[in-house]
């Protein structure tokens, strides 16, 4: 339960004292500012996608194809944006999607801790990436009282996979999110033209370097032989998961398991039949495959196929209105990706928190204006396809 729209009052009130927000409240200006602020290697990696970035652009453009119709004479004085997920009541329906290079997006190299702090400041859960500049235990600590989930890039070495999952569970993460679409890297011209792949320079590999199984396989401390450590990471990364691996994944943890990267309703159905706890409809922000349909255009079908199992969604969310549209199309919770990273790059934890607050404020005010003060009402009202 939150009055997220109050953030707007605070901005206008500060304005009467001549104070304007440190960061922009809209995505376009934020992106332009972040573009200038990020070092080129981070900028290309974060802003770029696959091929000519058709799918990446379509993800955001796709939201223009849906419109809400306002309802009047509804008492929207108090709004309830809370949801229930993984046995918890969460104050809002948004979460921070995993971003593997957050660690190098702040000058101190501790962007993952700053992201976790933004989560703590806002109550918006962080889906912490396997690719991190700080070990997952430290990232979890920094999330404080806000629940956090661990995103798993499943290593080829089953014992290393088991170790990462066990560490995440022991640390306190409340779900394991298995990303399915990134066992091989998609064709990314911006990074290829610059010959830039941060992981190969040793960035964001701390979850591996701090892992006892990884260290045992390496035979020395990663710091003693960084080149060998990076080489072992290259060998370890990217298990090719198939349906037959789901029982093994299930055996690794008691936590809820989420599958990230499902866009086809048949895949959603099969995952639900296999006992998966939640589906994450996402095309990785157009970073893995170009030429694909906008993720938002598949959401309703995935929801219909999931038979009531919660469907998380991301890819192209840029504003509060995008969040509300995704909810109206049946998403249970909505992931924010690049926008929080841009906030983080501009002003650390405070910058990421600012972006999340803006998105929540817009969603809250939109629900008020549209006469849909609860998420149930948003879903019942739905959206029109233009």
Ligand X SMILES: O=C(O)C(=O)c1ccccc1
Ligand Y SMILES: Cc1cc2nc3c(=O)[nH]c(=O)nc-3n(C[C@H](O)[C@H](O)[C@H](O)COP(=O)(O)O)c2cc1C
Task: Tell me the backbone φ, ψ of residue 253, rounded to 5 degrees.
Answer: -155, 155
Instruction: Please tell me the count of residues contacting ligand Y according to CB under 6 A.
Output: 23
Nearer to ligand X, 82 or 185 (CB): 185
Q: Residue 353 Cβ, how far from ligand Y at the closest point, in Å?
A: 17
Report 139-158 residues binding ligand Y (CB under 6 A).
Answer: 151
Report 18-47 residues binding ligand Y (CB under 6 A).
Answer: 45-46
Distance from chain centroid for Cα 142: 17
Residue 292 found at the interface with ligand Y (CB under 6 A): no
Residue 236 binds what, of ligand Y, ligand X, none (CB under 5 to 8 Å, by partner type)?
Answer: none
Residue 131 found at the interface with ligand X (CB under 6 A): yes
284 a catalytic residue: yes
The one segment of 62-70, 97-105, 244-252, 271-279 that binds ligand Y by CB under 6 A: 97-105
Residue 100 found at the interface with ligand X (CB under 6 A): yes
Q: Residue 293 Cβ, how far from ligand Y at the closest point, in Å?
A: 14
Residue 55 found at the interface with ligand Y (CB under 6 A): no
Residue nearest to ligand X (CB): 185
Residue 99 found at the interface with ligand Y (CB under 6 A): yes
Residue 285 found at the interface with ligand Y (CB under 6 A): yes
The one segment of 30-38, 96-104, 112-120, 375-383 that binds ligand Y by CB under 6 A: 96-104
Residue 314 binds what, of ligand Y, ligand X, none (CB under 5 to 8 Å, by partner type)?
Answer: ligand Y
Nearer to ligand X, 292 or 373 (CB): 292
Q: Which of 3, 64, 110, 284 is catalytic?
A: 284
Binding ligand X (rule: CB under 6 A), the pick from 56, 182, 206, 319 is 182
Residue 136 found at the interface with ligand Y (CB under 6 A): no
307 CB-contact burial (10 Å; exposed 0-12 / middle 13-18 / buried 19+): exposed
- For the chain, give the number of residues: 386
Residue 316 binds what, of ligand Y, ligand X, none (CB under 5 to 8 Å, by partner type)?
Answer: ligand Y
Q: Residue 213 Cβ, how far from ligand Y at the closest point, in Å?
A: 20
SS (H, E, C) the chain: CCCCCHHHHHHHHHHHCCCCCCCCCCHHHHHHHHHHHCCHHHHHHHHCCCCCCHHHHHHHHHHHHEECCCCCCCCCCCCECCEEECCEEECCCEEECCCCCHHHCCCCCCHHHHHHHHHHHHCCCEEECCCECCCHHHHHHHCCCCCEEEEECCCCCHHHHHHHHHHHHHHCCCCEEEECCCCCCCCCHHHHHCCCCHHHHCCCEHHHHCCHHHHHHHCCCHHHCHHHHHHHHHHHCCCCCCHHHHHHHHHCCCCCEEEECCCCHHHHHHHHHCCCCEEEECCHHHCCCCCCCCCHHHHHHHHHHCCCCCEEECCCCCCHHHHHHHHHCCCCEEEECHHHHHHHHHHHHHHHHHHHHHHHHHHHHHHHHCCCCEHHHHHHHCCEEC
Q: Residue 100 Cβ, how far from ligand X at the closest point, in Å?
A: 4
Residue 306 found at the interface with ligand Y (CB under 6 A): no
Which residues are part of the catalytic machinery?
284
Contact footprint for ligand Y (CB under 6 A): 45-46, 59, 97-101, 129, 131, 151, 179, 260, 282, 284-285, 287, 314-317, 337-338
Contact footprint for ligand X (CB under 6 A): 100, 131, 182, 185, 284, 287
């Amino acid at each position: 339960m939150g009055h997220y729209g109050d953030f707007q009052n605070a901005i206008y009130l500060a304005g009467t004292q001549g104070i304007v927000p440190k960061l922009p409240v809209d995505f376009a200006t934020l992106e332009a500012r972040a573009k200038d602020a990020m070092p080129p290697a981070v900028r290309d990696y974060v802003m770029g996608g696959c091929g000519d970035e058709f799918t990446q652009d379509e993800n955001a453009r796709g939201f223009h194809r849906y419109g809400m119709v306002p309802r009047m004479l509804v008492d929207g004085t108090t709004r309830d944006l809370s949801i229930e997920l993984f046995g918890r009541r969460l104050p809002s329906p948004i979460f921070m999607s995993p971003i593997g290079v957050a660690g190098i997006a702040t000058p101190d190299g501790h962007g993952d801790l700053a992201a976790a702090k933004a989560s703590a400041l806002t109550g918006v859960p962080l889906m912490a990436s396997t690719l991190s500049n700080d070990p997952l235990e430290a990232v979890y600590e920094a999330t404080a009282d806000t629940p956090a989930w661990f995103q798993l890039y499943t290593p080829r070495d089953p014992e290393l996979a088991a170790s990462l999952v066990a560490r995440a569970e022991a640390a306190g993460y409340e779900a394991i999110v298995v990303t399915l679409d990134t066992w091989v890297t998609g064709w990314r011209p911006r990074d290829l033209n610059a010959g830039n792949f941060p992981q190969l320079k040793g960035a964001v590999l701390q979850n591996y370097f701090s892992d006892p199984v990884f260290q045992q396989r390496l035979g020395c401390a990663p710091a003693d032989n960084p080149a060998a450590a990076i080489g072992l990471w290259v060998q370890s990364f990217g298990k090719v998961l198939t349906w037959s691996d789901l029982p093994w994944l299930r055996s690794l943890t008691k936590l809820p398991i989420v599958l990230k990267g499902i866009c086809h309703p048949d895949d959603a159905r099969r995952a639900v039949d296999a006992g998966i706890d939640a589906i994450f409809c996402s095309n990785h922000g157009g970073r893995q495959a170009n030429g694909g349909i906008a993720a938002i255009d598949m959401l309703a079908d995935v929801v219909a196929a999931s038979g009531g199992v919660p469907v998380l969604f991301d890819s192209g969310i840029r504003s509060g209105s995008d969040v509300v549209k995704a909810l109206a199309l049946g998403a249970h919770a909505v992931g924010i990706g690049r926008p929080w990273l841009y906030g983080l790059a501009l002003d650390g934890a405070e910058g990421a928190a600012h972006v999340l607050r803006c998105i929540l404020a817009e969603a809250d005010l939109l629900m008020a204006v549209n006469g849909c003060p609860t998420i149930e009402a948003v879903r019942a009202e739905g959206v029109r396809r233009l």
